[in-house]
């Protein structure tokens, strides 16, 4: 009798265990789905925190940085456009952005000049000495082409009224 009574208990115990597992699975599945969405939120928060930390570190580095464009020049042009800010680091950041913009335009103009001299230099390669081949002269046309890439029109109007 003990064997027959133990079998039904085992069956009911396994049924209870299956019910417990299935009932615990549904909250676990819901919990897993919440955890799956939770890392996305935490990833976003972690990314934002990393960006904030990086910006804060960069602004601290700007305390020691002396930009090529003097602070007085930056202050003058910021005042002319109506920008009021007492944070020197922010002004230096804007000065650094302007410096990079001018540097990019100069590099693009230099590339245009190199293309121009290489294209015309092949035809007259025998006329120039080795010293002249290494020299590059920037012209207003080169600068105009570089500025046009940034949407700035620097050409004079064709006709004056």
Tens-digit pLDDT profile for residues 105-153: 999 999 999 998 887 655 555 555 555 567 888 899 999 999 999 999 9
**Residue 99, Cβ neighbours under 10 Å: how many?**
14
Q: How many domains does the chain have?
A: 1
Of 58, 59, 71, the C-alpha closest to 98 is 71
138 Ramachandran zone, left/alpha/beta (phi>0; psi -120 to 50): beta
Flag whether 112 is in a domain: yes
Write down the pLDDT at residue 132.
59
Flag whether 13 is in a domain: no
Distance of CA 30 to the CA centre of its chain: 37
Domain range enclosing 100: 21-149
Q: For 47-96, how does the pLDDT look when each residue is reduced to its tens digit (9 = 90+)?
A: 888 888 888 888 888 888 888 999 999 999 999 999 999 988 899 999 99
pTM passes above 0.75 = no
Flag whether 90 is in a domain: yes
């Amino acid at each position: 009798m003990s064997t027959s009574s133990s079998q039904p208990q085992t069956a009911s115990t396994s049924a209870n265990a299956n019910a417990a597992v299935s009932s615990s699975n549904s909250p676990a599945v819901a919990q897993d789905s919440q955890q799956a969405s939770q890392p996305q939120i935490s990833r976003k928060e972690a990314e934002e925190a990393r960006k904030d930390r990086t910006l804060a570190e960069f602004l601290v580095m700007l305390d020691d940085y002396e930009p090529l464009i003097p602070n007085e020049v930056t202050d003058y042009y910021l005042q002319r456009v109506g920008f009021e800010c007492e944070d020197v680091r922010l002004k230096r950041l804007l000065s650094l952005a302007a410096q990079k913009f001018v540097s990019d335009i100069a590099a693009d103009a230099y590339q245009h000049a190199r293309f121009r001299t290489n294209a015309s230099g092949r035809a007259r390669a025998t006329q120039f000495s080795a010293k002249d081949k290494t020299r590059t002269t920037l012209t207003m046309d080169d600068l105009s082409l570089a500025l046009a890439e940034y949407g700035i029109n620097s050409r004079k109007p064709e006709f004056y009224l």
